[in-house]
Amino acid sequence: MRRHKDRSKIIIGIFLIITVIFLSKLFYIQVINENYKFSANNNVLRYDVQQAVRGLIYDRDSNLIVANVPAYDLMIIPKDMRGRTMDTLKFCKLVEISKAEFLERYKKASNYSTYKESVFIKHISKENSSTLGESLYEFPGFYLRKLTMREYPTNSSTHLIGYLGEVNSRKTKEDPFYTKGDLNGVSGVEAAYEEYLRGEKGMAIKLVDVHNRDQGKFQNGKFDTLPIPGKTLISTINIELQKYGEKLMTNKIGAIVAIEPSSGEIIALVSAPSYNPNQLIGRKRSDNYKALSEDKNKPLFNRALQGTYPPGSIFKLINGVIALQEGVITKYNSFSCAGDNGYSYGNDKNVGCHAHQTPLNLRKGIELSCNTYFCNIYEKYFSKYSSTIEAYNNWSNHVASFGIGSYMNNDFITGSTGKLPKASYFDELYRRSWNANTIISMAIGQGELLLTPIQMANMTAIIANKGFYYTPHIIKKISGEESIDTNFIKKKYCTIESKYFNTIIEGMLKVTEGEHGTARNAKIPELQICGKTGTAQNPHGEDHSIFIAFAPKEDPKIAIAVYVENGGWGSTWASPIASLMIENYINKKTSRIALEDVIINGNLIVNK
C-alpha cells in the first residue's frame, strides 16, 4: 500500500515538473523572446521593399541629363483577397483597365505566388496615386509601393543613355537582388553601369489593419533598413553638341560619333532616326516600345555602335600610312591615273576613278581621293612579300591595331566588331587562288571590309594623335570611386610610327582647304580642319555619304565620323554635318546659318 502511495507521489511530481517547464517555456515565448512575438505578428505585418533611388547622370559640364521623379507601383498579394469582396468595376475604373485585363493580371500574379507581393500596375504617377490611395482600403490585397521613375530633362541622348526594362525570370534567378517587377538597365549607360546606378534596397515593416490600411511602423521601425541610393555618374557627353547633332540628323538615317583625341572621351554619339527617351517610361512604355520596334527605319537600333558599313574612301588613309610604314612608297612617289578607266588589272578589269590632274603623289591622292593611286600602292605592297597570305596577315595586323575588327573594350555592353576578314576567309572563298587584285576593292574601303561609326571616329583620333589612342568611353567619373576603369586612361599605340602620319594629315588638310579638295564646303575660316570624304557603294539604292575629320590641325580637340545612309557623295551631307559640329563645339556658335538650315530641313527618309 505504501509502495503505491510513493509511486503516486513520484508520478504527480513528474507531471508538476513537466507543467512548470511548459509554463516557463510559454512565458518565455510570449513575454521574453521577441522573435516569437515577431513571428506571431506576421499575419498583421506588411513587408514593403524600399526601392533605392537610381543614380543620376550628368554631362561633362554637370548638366543633368537623367533625373528621377516620384511614382508608385500598385502591388498585389493574392492571398489577402481571398474570402473578401470588392467592387471590381470601381477598381478597374480607378486604375483605368478593363475587367478582362484585371482578371488577366490577377491570374498572372497568382501564378507567380499567392503569398508573395508582385506588381499589378507599374509606374502610377504621383497625381494619380493620390486619388487611388484614398479608396485603396476598399480593395483588400492591394497597396501602393513608392518608387522613383526615370525622367529625361533634355529629351535627348537616347541611344547612349539607354533605357530600363522589367527583369525576366532568368535574371531573378541569377541575381537575388532582383524580384519580379523590378527594372534594370537594358541598353546604353543604364545597362553598362547598372550595378553602380541601382543602389541597394531597404525594407520597411508596417502594421496594417484588416482593411490593409497602414497603421504605422512595426516596433517603431526597429527592424527597418534604409535603401542606399545609386551612384551619380558624370558622363563624357557635351549635351549641347549632342542635341545639335541630333538636330542635324533629323529625317536622316546614320550616325555621328565625336571623340576628344587626347582622352578618348566620347563627346557626342548620335544614332538616327532616334526617339524621345521619355517614351520608354511610365504606363505607356509597352505600347510605345511596340510601335518603335515595328518602325521599318529601326529607331531602337544603335547605328553608332552596331551599324556596320563599308568605310569607302576614308579607308585610303589607313592603306596610305601602311604603305609608308612598310617602305612601299615615300611621300614623293607618284602614279598616273587614267580617269574614268582608273586602275586596270586582269582581263579587261578596272577600278574606275574620276578626271583630275595626273600623275599625283600621296598627299594629292588624298586631296583628290584618287582610286587609282591607292589601288597601285595596295598591289605594290602585296608584291613586297613572297606569299599573298603573309602579305595579307601583316596588312590585317596593321589594320587591327587601329581598333578595327574588335569591340575595343569600351564601356558599352552592345556593339559590333565590324568585319576584318581573315586570310582563311579568302582561301575558302577563292579556293586558295587569290592575290591583291582579287581583293583590290579593299584598297579603297569596299569589298568585305565593314566598320562601325565608333571605329571610324577612333581611327580618326589615332591619325589626329599620330599613332595612339585611348579607348573610347562614355563615363568620366563615378561618385565615391577614385577613378574610372584604368583601361580608359592607358595610352594604346597602333603599329605605325608617328612620323608617317604627317603626310596623311597634310593631305587631309588639303581635302578641306585645297583648290581641288573634295570637301571644300567643310572649310571654316581660321580653323584648320583635316578631313577625308568617302562615298560607299550601296547595291540597294543611293550610295552612302561619309566624312571623317579632326580639328584643329595642331592640338586637336575633336575627332569626328559622320555616316549618312543614302546620302550620295561624302561632300553632299556628311562633310557639312561634320564641319557644323566641329564649329559648334570649338567656336561655340554656328556662322553658316544658310548651310545649317539646308542640313536640318533635308529629308533623306523615303516613305517614312
Residue 473, all three cell numbers = 568611353
Q: Got the DSSP string for 519-588?
A: TGGG-BTTB--EEEEEEE--TTSSPEEEEEEEESSSS--EEEEEEETT--STTTTHHHHHHHHHHHHHTS
* Beta carbons of 349 and 378 less than 8 angstroms apart: no
Instruction: Report pTM.
Output: 0.86
First-to-last C-alpha distance (Å) of the chain: 110
State residue 117's pLDDT score. Answer: 79
Q: What count of other Cβ atoms lies within 10 Å of the Cβ of residue 192?
A: 22
**Cβ atoms within 10 Å, residue 601:** 9
Cα dihedral across residues 70, 71, 76, 81: positive or negative: positive
Residue 475 resides in a domain: yes
Please give the pLDDT value at position 506: 97
The predicted structure's pLDDT at residue 282: 80
Indicate if 368 and 231 belong to the same structural domain.
Answer: no
**Which helix (H) or strand (E) covers residue 305, if one does?**
helix 303-306
- 272 and 225 housed in the same domain: no
Do 406 and 551 lie in one domain? The reply is yes
Among 434, 407, 433, smallest CA distance to 420 is for 407
**Which parts of the chain register pLDDT below 70?**
1-11, 13, 15, 20, 22-43, 209-214, 607-608
Q: Beta 183-185 vs 475-478: how paired, if at all?
A: unpaired
Residue 294 lies in a domain: yes
Q: For the domain that residue 87 is a member of, what is the CATH number?
A: 3.90.1310.10
Q: How many domains does the chain have?
A: 2
Identify whether residues 294 and 175 lie together within a single domain.
no
The full DSSP string for 169-238 is: HHHHHH-TT--TT-EEE-SHHHHHTHHHHS-B-EEEEEEE-TT--EEEEGGGGTT-B--BPPPPEEES--
Are 229 and 243 contained in the same domain?
no
Burial class of residue 25 in the structure, from the number of CB atoms within 10 Å of its CB (0-12 exposed, 13-18 middle, 19+ buried): exposed
CA quadruple 99, 101, 104, 108: dihedral positive or negative?
Answer: negative
Same domain, 331 and 422: yes
Q: What is the pLDDT of residues 308-340, one digit of tens each?
A: 999 999 999 999 999 999 999 999 999 999 999
Name 240's Cβ contacts closer than 8 Å, sequence gap at least 6: 584
According to the model, what pLDDT value does residue 126 have? 74
Q: What share of the chain is helix, strand, coil (3-state, %, to 5)?
A: 40, 20, 40
379 assigned to some structural domain = yes
Give CA–CA dist 463/475, Å, rounded. 23
Q: CA 217 → CA 49, 206, 211, 225, 305, distances in Å?
A: 13, 4, 16, 12, 49
Cα 415 → chain centroid: 8
The whole-number pLDDT of residue 193 equals 95
Closest by CA to 551, choosing from 575, 518, 535, 570, is: 575
Same-domain check for residues 181 and 281: no
Q: Is residue 564 one of the residues assigned to a domain?
A: yes
pLDDT over 90 percentage in the chain: 65
CA pair distance 95, 105, nearest whole angstrom: 12
Q: Are residues 186 and 249 both part of a single domain?
A: no
In a domain, 315, yes or no: yes
Q: What is the pLDDT of residue 454?
A: 97
The pLDDT score that the predictor gives to residue 556 is: 98
Q: Residue 403: inside a domain, yes or no? A: yes
In a domain, 454, yes or no: yes
- Expressed as residue numbers, the domain containing 300 is 239-601
Identify which of 455, 358, 349 has the alpha carbon closest to the alpha carbon of residue 401. 455
Q: What whole-number distance in Å separates Cα of residue 363 and Cα of residue 508?
A: 8
Instruction: Answer whether 518's CB lies under 8 Å from 570's CB.
Output: yes
Q: What is the pLDDT of residue 36?
A: 47
Q: What is the CATH number of the domain that holds 321?
A: 3.40.710.10
Give pLDDT tens digits for 231-251: 999 999 999 999 999 999 999
Whether residues 184 and 287 fall in one domain: no
CB-based contacts of 21, cutoff 8 Å, min separation 6: none
230-264: b (≥16 Cβ within 10 Å) or e: bbbbbbbbbbbbbbbbbebbbebbbbbbbbbbebb
In a domain, 408, yes or no: yes
450 CB neighbour count, 10 Å cutoff: 21
Are 231 and 263 part of one and the same domain? Answer: no
Strand-strand pairing, 233-235 and 57-58? parallel
249 and 190 fall within a common domain = no
Nearest alpha-carbon partner for 412 in 157, 164, 188: 188
Beta-strand pair 233-235/475-478? antiparallel
On whether both 438 and 526 belong to a single domain, the answer is yes
In the structure grid, which three cell numbers stand for residue 147, read together?
Answer: 518608387
Residues 6+ apart with CB under 8 A from 250: 272, 600
Q: What is the pLDDT of residues 507-565, one digit of tens each?
A: 999 999 999 999 999 999 889 999 999 999 887 788 999 999 999 999 999 999 999 99
